Structure 1
Amino acid sequence: MRTLLTRATLIDCVEPRAQADCTVLLEDGRIQEIFQAGHAPAVGDAEVIDLQGAYLMPGLWDVHIHPDYLQLSDVPLADQVTLFGHRLQAALLESGIVGFRCAGAHHYMDVAWKRAFDSGQHLGPRLFASGHFLTTTGGHFLTSGHAKEVDGPYGWVKAIREEIKNGVDHIKLNLSGGIMGPAWDLHRHSFLLEDELKAAFDICKLREFKVMAHATNPQAVKAAIRLGAHSIEHGYILDDECIELFLEHDCWYVPTLSISHLTPGQATNDWEHRWVKNRNLSHSLCCRADAASDVHQAGFLKALKAGVKMALGSDIRPLKDAALLELGLWVRDGATPWQALVAATRSGAAICGMGDESGTVEKGKIADLIVVGSNPLEDINSVRRLQLVFKDGRLVSDKRAKAR
């Protein structure tokens, strides 16, 4: 199947500019050729889609997600698995999120949906599964239903082996507390003892599994980076040594600004106000988020200016809104629209090991693409003006009639 996208304003996420009047040929699920203005090819047997100057760019990635925090007592497991898959699909079709990296899901529902999507049984985004997130007894976010409590060096080794056996892509370790939790679950506290940390990272290294490390304070961040973490999630408090270690060890940082920034007192636009109202977070948790937000922003900016590798992850729901909100927060906190776009496209694919295959509009790459109605390099919220979504070169969502 050949598809010719004509009159595209191309944002390839390689060069920080929009290129007018481009033509892009899609064939066999990949980008076959890119033609600059004045060099359109013969149509032949290709289906032609005239973009009429709209903006063609890579699909978005959200590399820190969870399904809804539902308990089995509230919703049967089969319904939860179905709901998770539906929301992943909705995020692809309604918002152009083509890739997700999971950060915790009970009963390996993320593994099940990854296999379903990869096999072609169901249409959905690219999914990278973590299974449960692992923490200590009395660790982080136990009420979520996605945590597995383990203790002692061998306890950690056994739990990690169980995750590997059940088909995960990476291991999620919760090394410290968080903002969203009971009074004893604090982000300034670290949870693991030195021998537990070493055992957990040693077995991951032996089995060649990347560690996605929930680390929220300097002690946890530094320990995780030194032991070989692939990525640090949240990093609510970062000191100068943390930044130096990120650069020295070439470690990724996923800041999840939404956790500390989306409260009633901090919402700045209609999308944020609507989300905050629907979430209805308790007053005590809003206070914790508000108290952490300035320090979180300062660490984010410090990492951004230093050139730390950063990718966009939201850690909020619903999935179809989460990455779009997080993009807005990146720019609000001091990133340029270009930096935010790269974090949600090229870097999102790279952190998942797909940088050679996805995340930019280049010849030979997988054609997971979106078309939006105005320029996100001028206003990051233009990504909300979604017109088309392509998955493996096939048009799967067309919102042009609705946009009119």
Structure 2
Amino acid sequence: MRNNFLSFFFLVTLFLACMSHAVAMLPISYPPKQAVQQHPFIIKNVNVIAMTSPNKVLYHTTVIVRNGRIESLSGAVQKDAIIIDGTDKWLIPGLIDVHVHPPTDLSLRPGMPTQPPSVTFNTQDLMTPYVANGVTTIVNLNANMEAFCQRKEIQKGYVIGPRIAMAALINGGVGPGRTANTAEEGRQAVQDAKNEGYEFIKLYSQLNVETFVAIIDEANKLGLKTIGHIPNAFQGKLEQAFIPHFDMVAHAEEFSKHAKDFSEQEAQRFAQLAKQNGTWLSPTLIASVRIAEQVRSLDSLKALSTLQYVPPLLQSKWLTANSYNKNASPERVDYFDKLVQFHFQLVRSFKEIGVPIVAGTDAGVSGVVWGFSLHDELALLAKAGLTPEEVLVSTTRLSATWLGMASEVGTIEVGKVADLVLLNANPLEDVANTRKISGVFVNGQWLPQTKLHAMLRELSKRNTASKAQYDWKKLIGR
């Protein structure tokens, strides 16, 4: 009884500590304490890919970063500066992933016993793969109270991590989480999310038509953009889902669920619906690819080199309780293979008609590893037909614009936050060069390649050392 009381008291205290500041703070436009510095950083003789519109490349440029912001793109070398040699290197804006699911203790609880699970996640361990891959902004599309705590740890400078935008997920039906089944409930759910400090609303699959429409209308009134699924209630009447202020579809799969023959004509029809409504797309191609691999076999997951950076508990879950692989059959393998190919066609069709496409990964899905998966997504967008520059735009300027952060990040311009990635090769020639990272500025803090590699090594060691302690099936009592 006493332990239950203490657990309850801890959760309440944690909730009050995290949520008391949620409304007042500026969550996604801060340079935290760690960015303040006595000496400026100077990146000397670097090639700057500004990602402005139109995009400019500034060759052999001197970039000055002071107090977390870009002070100059043509300054002189100063005596008290910390010099970074940019010779033969390329500077791009920090990368943005608009669809992630960082784990929290609370995220394990739905459908499980009411007491907190016997495991906690170290926030730095969760954020290291992002910063090591140049991902300086993420959007948590199913945030909870502990996600606010993770964000606060970064803001306070206790953790080196990306800025985090928060979306409140609203679903229909009965179950854990935030649900709404009438227009009135939907509006109230949006109002609650706004009051709690969320910046976006995620729409989910079980919403009925009336509630879906009300949520979008209320979100627009309160200045919150909407992103998410196309609810199952629109099956056979897809056109009706595209109402004003349905701002972004979170997966290409949300369209393919409505396809009959996975044809180019269907892809073009879906693109037209989105274009007419001003709805953007984040296709999350890597999630579909990883799922298709796991439907076939778990061999690719076991061989994944980045698995070492995933918390041991989730490694166990992915490998021992994999829902994608559980009911595998030749028919399912064939279906998911077709799905992946159709998603490439969807991206081509959306590009051709001018629907904005932004990069998101659905990181947290088994096999989709935080940070690393964004580079996988960029490669797949290139495979689908985007040029290297269009791929870079999708994960920098366009994402920042949709998030309402374009005045702070997304391009390299004087006055903006120093979220920057220094590369050893030109990504405009080959988008795979975004993986060749020499160093990262995250919220104005410089992390050279040696530091990033050391952070990853330590993370891998900790995960390996504690791997035997975690068994997903034992945790959930199965």
Distance 2:150 2:334 in 1: 36
Match of 1:383 in 2: 434
Q: Aligned in 2, Cα 1:239/1:316: closer, same or farther, shift over 3 Å?
A: same
Aligned-pair distance for 1:111?
2.3
Match of 2:3 in 1: none
Unaligned runs of 5+ in 2: 1-38, 256-265, 308-314, 455-478
Q: Tell me if 1:152 matches 2:182.
A: yes
Match of 1:172 in 2: 202
Choose 1 or 2 for highest CA Rg: 2
Q: Which residue of the other structure, out of 293, 303, 322, is the alignment partner of 1:264?
A: 293
Aligned-pair distance for 1:363?
1.7
Deviation track 1:80-136 (CA, whole Å, cap 9, x = no partner) reads 5x34x335421343111000011113x4322222233234443321100114x2222
Q: Aligned in 2, Cα 1:393/1:349: closer, same or farther, shift over 3 Å?
A: same
- Letter of the aligned partner of 1:251 in structure 2? T
Instruction: Give the secondary-structure state (helix, strand or coil) at the position aligned to 1:22.
Output: strand
Match of 2:35 in 1: none
Alpha-carbon contact 2:130-2:372 (below 8 Å) kept: no
Match of 2:141 in 1: 103
Distance 1:62 1:272 in 2: 25
5 Å matches for 1:284-303?
288-303=335-350
Distance 2:247 2:78 in 1: 45
Q: Aligned in 2, Cα 1:401/1:240: closer, same or farther, shift over 3 Å?
A: closer
Distance 1:366 1:86 in 2: 21
- Letter of the aligned partner of 1:48 in structure 2? I
Q: How many residues align?
A: 372
Alpha-carbon contact 1:239-1:299 (below 8 Å) kept: yes
Deviation track 1:263-300 (CA, whole Å, cap 9, x = no partner) reads 33999xx9997279985541367555323222222111
Aligned-pair distance for 1:19?
4.1
Distance 1:390 1:239 in 2: 39
Alpha-carbon contact 2:419-2:443 (below 8 Å) kept: yes
Q: Aligned in 2, Cα 1:79/1:273: closer, same or farther, shift over 3 Å?
A: closer
Unaligned runs of 5+ in 1: 177-190
Higher helix fraction: Structure 1 or Structure 2?
2
Instruction: Give the secondary-structure state (helix, strand or coil) at the position aligned to 2:410.
Output: coil
Aligned-pair distance for 1:354?
0.7
Match of 1:10 in 2: 48
Match of 1:232 in 2: 249
- Letter of the aligned partner of 1:137 in structure 2? G
Aligned-pair distance for 1:46?
1.9
Instruction: Give the secondary-structure state (helix, strand or coil) at the position aligned to 1:197.
Output: helix
Match of 1:332 in 2: 383
Match of 1:198 in 2: 213
Distance 2:293 2:213 in 1: 40
Q: Tell me if 1:213 matches 2:242.
A: no
Alpha-carbon contact 2:439-2:452 (below 8 Å) kept: no
Q: Aligned in 2, Cα 1:46/1:353: closer, same or farther, shift over 3 Å?
A: same
Percent identity of paired positions between Structure 1 and Structure 2: 23
Distance 1:359 1:401 in 2: 22
Deviation track 1:27-86 (CA, whole Å, cap 9, x = no partner) reads 222111113xxxx62423222111231111111110011124962349946945x34x33
Aligned-pair distance for 1:261?
2.2
Q: Tell me if 1:24 matches 2:66.
A: no
Distance 1:308 1:118 in 2: 34
- Letter of the aligned partner of 1:171 in structure 2? I
Aligned-pair distance for 1:197?
2.0
Match of 2:402 in 1: 351
Q: Tell me if 1:61 matches 2:96.
A: yes
- Letter of the aligned partner of 2:183 in structure 1? P
Alpha-carbon contact 1:135-1:149 (below 8 Å) kept: yes
Q: Which residue of the other structure, out of 274, 278, 291, is the alignment partner of 1:246?
A: 274
Distance 1:274 1:120 in 2: 31
Higher strand fraction: Structure 1 or Structure 2?
1
- Letter of the aligned partner of 2:288 in structure 1? S
Instruction: Give the secondary-structure state (helix, strand or coil) at the position aligned to 2:293.
Output: coil
Q: Aligned in 2, Cα 1:401/1:289: closer, same or farther, shift over 3 Å?
A: closer
Alpha-carbon contact 1:198-1:227 (below 8 Å) kept: no
Match of 1:369 in 2: 420
Alpha-carbon contact 1:260-1:290 (below 8 Å) kept: no
Alpha-carbon contact 1:215-1:235 (below 8 Å) kept: no
How high is the TM-score relative to the length of structure 2?
Answer: 0.69
Deviation track 1:307-343 (CA, whole Å, cap 9, x = no partner) reads 2112100002321222111111111111111111111
Instruction: Give the secondary-structure state (helix, strand or coil) at the position aligned to 1:226.
Output: coil
- Letter of the aligned partner of 1:152 in structure 2? T
Distance 1:276 1:396 in 2: 20
Aligned-pair distance for 1:259?
2.4
Match of 2:149 in 1: 112
- Letter of the aligned partner of 1:163 in structure 2? A
Q: Aligned in 2, Cα 1:27/1:322: closer, same or farther, shift over 3 Å?
A: same
Distance 1:314 1:337 in 2: 18
Aligned-pair distance for 1:243?
2.7
Deviation track 1:123-165 (CA, whole Å, cap 9, x = no partner) reads 321100114x222227xxx7xx7x5443222232233333223
Alpha-carbon contact 1:213-1:224 (below 8 Å) kept: no
How high is the TM-score relative to the length of structure 1?
Answer: 0.80
Choose 92-101 or 196-205, whichever is displaced more: 196-205
Instruction: Give the secondary-structure state (helix, strand or coil) at the position aligned to 1:310.
Output: coil
Match of 1:86 in 2: 124
Alpha-carbon contact 2:44-2:61 (below 8 Å) kept: yes
Q: Tell me if 1:44 matches 2:74.
A: no
RMSD: 3.3
